[in-house]
Structure 1
Amino acid sequence: MLRNKIHIWNKHLHEKAHELLQETRLHDTLTNVVIPTFDTVDLHPVIFSSFKLKTVPSLDAKLSDICIGTSAFPSQLPPYAFKNGDKEFNLVDGVLTAAGPALLAISEVIQQLNEKNSDFIPIKANEPLKIVLLSLGTGSSPSDLKLPASWGQFLSFNKWVPILALGYAISDGQVNDYHLESVFPSDSSSSDNYYLRVQEFNLDPSITADDTSKENMEKLIKAADDLLPQSVKVLNVTSFLPFEKPSEGTNAEALERLAEILYNERQVRLKRKSMEKQGRPFIASALRMI
């Protein structure tokens, strides 16, 4: 029964992805994107990045293939194989590469600045790097699975597997937050960067990721709506527990501020392009964003 259900999900996903995206390729995206996947044959991450197309042309695959590959979560959807030119990909969900892709986005920005990408306004010596990052979580529920060390010696390998999988999924995301703390200190007054993480840390356990029924979707929408009036929460990277940050206001207010920052940045970039076309110098200190 489960195998048939997975087959139906997989077939529908493939059909819908090809229907919506058709021949659209990575270079056709309206903005730069970074999409993580993992290749089960080459046994290494494959990062489909707009910035890498000049040096790695094989990454310019159809978006339908990329989306199917990065959605192929092991145990729920089968790995996805496709060829782009002479290059063959065998992909599974990008969660195996990056449970939270925020670090990948930061890495791409810094790499492009180091390579002096003309699309980025160069920074001056001793000028702080300014990065704005919005991270939207998919929600998490507290786990009842706890394993005292004294019990571990009695578990077989098969019983360890789900525990290790859960531990990896939780710790990978939290380690990302640990690294991001060095770029976006919790005390934002000491940083030129701005990081907003919108996440439900106490998601209703009845909401599941593999249920596309109307009832489940409505619960998910309600959970997202309920997040907007809540105070912004930040993860303490010592206890790994979230705490409210009253100075940031609500999630809705923080998103509005972020939208204003993005709008102003867009105006700066448009002005820069206009002045460069006229052969006039442009000097500005702008935010670095993908």
Structure 2
Amino acid sequence: MQVKGSSCLDAQLSDICISTSAAPTYLPAHYFKTQDNKGNVREYNLIDGGVAANNPTLVAISEVTKQVIENNPDFFPIKPMDYARYLVISIGTGAAKIEQKYNGKMAAKWGVLGWLIHGGSTPLVDVFTQSSGDMVDFHNSVVFQALHSEENYLRIQEDTLTGTEASVDVATKANLEKLVKIGENLLKKPVSRVNLETGLHKPVENAGTNEDALKRFARLLCNERRLRELRSPLTSKALTNKAQASSLNVVHHIVIP
């Protein structure tokens, strides 16, 4: 959306993919630059955005809300807090199974190294990434439920990964095939929602599977696209021209035996 207002933001897809994959300690930071039609150059020095927004759902919602506030005709006449008109699909990249590996007594004895490396894992990184992602999910669940629009927010996440499945940098063929299988199985699992008392995900009664929910969202999005196309001046003009052409064809067939 922001690219329309600044062509310097129109970066190549390859640069975007490399940047969003540049997780610290795993892959190097990425530098590139863009240039607009006036010759203005903008430099980028980027790392994985997960450092700031491990679950970017709120970022996406904020971008849509900004467009509503700025009276983007595509969103008229939606109000900024009209969550009944928001459709949010949040798909996680998988998380390690919660094993309660740490406790207060253990952490109280850790120094800098203990927080960075303990038992083959990185407690500090685990705390930051998992907590920030979970807080976004919890916040969205609270807001959508409070506004009676909980069916418009779908969170799909596999949080029982173990071993190499939960690793960020094991790209062997065997592990990738295993992850594909995990994703396929995840589609068959029931839709779940955060329990606001415990903070844990619980299956939603009579909500079907994740696959069912995605199909429902797809139908809603297709219907919304058709409505927007009908409201668009360009589409209306195209439909008028098509109707005129169709009328001419009908006349043609009537006149000529």
Same fold, TM-score > 0.5, yes or no? yes
Please state how far the C-alpha of 1:210 moved relative to its aligned partner.
1.8
Please state how far the C-alpha of 1:274 moved relative to its aligned partner.
5.2
Q: Distance in 2 between matches of 1:54 and 1:260?
A: 28
Structure 2 residue 206 is matched with structure 1 residue 247: yes
> Which of these residues, 84, 89, 97, is aligned with residue 44 of structure 2?
89
Does the CA-based 8 Å contact 1:80-1:91 persist in structure 2? yes
Please state how far the C-alpha of 1:140 moved relative to its aligned partner.
1.6
Q: Which residue of 1 aligns with 2:155?
A: 197
Q: Which residue of 2 aligns with 1:183?
A: 143
Does the CA-based 8 Å contact 2:68-2:79 persist in structure 1? no
Aligned residues: 227
Query: SS where residue 212 of structure 2 aligns?
Result: helix
Which protein has the bigger helix share? 2
Structure 2 residue 212 is matched with structure 1 residue 262: no
Does the CA-based 8 Å contact 1:136-1:198 persist in structure 2? yes
Structure 2 residue 121 is matched with structure 1 residue 166: no
- Equivalent position amino acid for 1:174 in 2: D
Structure 2 residue 52 is matched with structure 1 residue 52: no
Query: SS where residue 184 of structure 2 aligns?
Result: helix
Closer, same or farther: CA 126–206 of 1 in aligned 2, 3 Å: closer
Query: SS where residue 158 of structure 1 aligns?
Result: helix
Q: For residues 108-127 of structure 1, what are the structure 2 equivalents within 5 Å?
A: 108-123=63-78
Does the CA-based 8 Å contact 2:191-2:210 persist in structure 1? yes
Closer, same or farther: CA 173–237 of 1 in aligned 2, 3 Å: farther
Unaligned ranges ≥5, structure 2: 36-40, 117-121, 238-257
Q: Distance in 2 between matches of 1:90 and 1:105?
A: 22
Please state how far the C-alpha of 1:123 moved relative to its aligned partner.
2.7
Larger RCO: 1 or 2 (CA < 8 Å, sep 6+): 1
Please state how far the C-alpha of 1:245 moved relative to its aligned partner.
0.3
Structure 2 residue 72 is matched with structure 1 residue 72: no
Q: Distance in 1 between matches of 2:128 and 2:16?
A: 24
Q: Distance in 2 between matches of 1:266 and 1:114?
A: 21
- Equivalent position amino acid for 2:157 in 1: Q
Q: Which residue of 2 aligns with 1:4?
A: none
Report the RMSD for the aligned CA atoms in angstroms: 2.6
Q: Distance in 1 between matches of 2:77 and 2:100?
A: 49
- Equivalent position amino acid for 1:257 in 2: R
Structure 2 residue 66 is matched with structure 1 residue 107: no
Q: Distance in 2 between matches of 1:80 and 1:124?
A: 38
Unaligned ranges ≥5, structure 1: 1-50, 279-290
Does the CA-based 8 Å contact 1:128-1:192 persist in structure 2? no
Q: Distance in 2 between matches of 1:100 and 1:67?
A: 17
Q: Which residue of 2 aligns with 1:139?
A: 94
Listed one character per residue, the Cα deviations across residues 48-71 of structure 1 (whole Å, up to 9, x for unaligned) are: xxx222444422221211111111
Q: Distance in 1 between matches of 2:144 and 2:186?
A: 22
Listed one character per residue, the Cα deviations across residues 147-169 of structure 1 (whole Å, up to 9, x for unaligned) are: 33233342221222332211001
Does the CA-based 8 Å contact 2:230-2:236 persist in structure 1? no
Aligned-residue identity in percent: 37
Listed one character per residue, the Cα deviations across residues 18-59 of structure 1 (whole Å, up to 9, x for unaligned) are: xxxxxxxxxxxxxxxxxxxxxxxxxxxxxxxxx222444422
Listed one character per residue, the Cα deviations across residues 121-170 of structure 1 (whole Å, up to 9, x for unaligned) are: 22379966510011111122224463332333422212223322110011
Q: Which residue of 1 aligns with 2:240?
A: none
Q: Distance in 1 between matches of 2:32 and 2:79?
A: 43
Query: SS where residue 115 of structure 2 aligns?
Result: helix
Q: For residues 224-235 of structure 1, what are the structure 2 equivalents within 5 Å?
A: 224-235=183-194
Query: SS where residue 89 of structure 1 aligns?
Result: strand
TM-score by length of structure 1 reads: 0.70
Q: Distance in 2 between matches of 1:88 and 1:105?
A: 24
Please state how far the C-alpha of 1:205 moved relative to its aligned partner.
3.0
Query: SS where residue 213 of structure 2 aligns?
Result: helix
Closer, same or farther: CA 211–109 of 1 in aligned 2, 3 Å: same
TM-score by length of structure 2 reads: 0.79
Q: Distance in 1 between matches of 2:157 and 2:90?
A: 8
Does the CA-based 8 Å contact 1:131-1:193 persist in structure 2? no
Listed one character per residue, the Cα deviations across residues 165-190 of structure 1 (whole Å, up to 9, x for unaligned) are: 110011000110122124321x88x2
Query: SS where residue 90 of structure 1 aligns?
Result: strand
Which is further off, 162-171 or 52-61?
A: 52-61
